[in-house]
Amino acid sequence: MLFLPFVLLPGIKNDPNRKNLLMATGLKFRFYGYIVLAMMLITGLFNISLRGINFSFDFFILTRYGQLVELKIILFVLMITISLMHDLIVGKKAIEQMENQNIKLIARWTGRLLLLISLVMAYIGVIISRGA
């Protein structure tokens, strides 16, 4: 998530082939990003089953642990939704219409929002693992 804004974009700022480089890099990272999201889902479900947790209304409402798990699930679904929107709609338009400042702004902010959500999820994961 930090590679594009900190490494790639400054490096290709004046490159005439910028559009193609962005598209190729974005497509490659998108593939690996979705693999990581699938791994997060699988390992999260595996960790819950290892802890012997019963999914019930009381678990999510009455326990602090359940509330954190619920928040993490909501953030995960939000992350997938925004990621799909960023990759399939906004990102593609931003590459096609490089001069359109509104689309570039939306693409930047969806990327930043994804970074923020992932950092919050990592923080919640640390809290959960340390015995919330």
DSSP assignment of 78-126, as one string?
Answer: HHHHHHHHIIIIIHHHHHHTTT-HHHHHHHHHHHHHHHHHHHHHHHHHH
Looking up tokens 């598209």 gives 23
Residue 76, pLDDT score: 94
Q: In the chain, count of helices (H) and strands (E)?
A: 7, 0
Query: Tens digit of pLDDT for each residue in 42-73?
Result: 988 888 888 787 778 888 888 888 899 889 99
Contact 4, 18 (CB under 8 A): no
For 50, phi then psi, to 5°, come to -65, -35
Query: Tens digit of pLDDT for each residue in 84-106?
Result: 888 888 777 776 776 778 887 88
Q: What is d(CA 92, CA 21) in angstroms, rounded to the nearest whole number?
A: 13
Looking up tokens 């970074």 gives 115
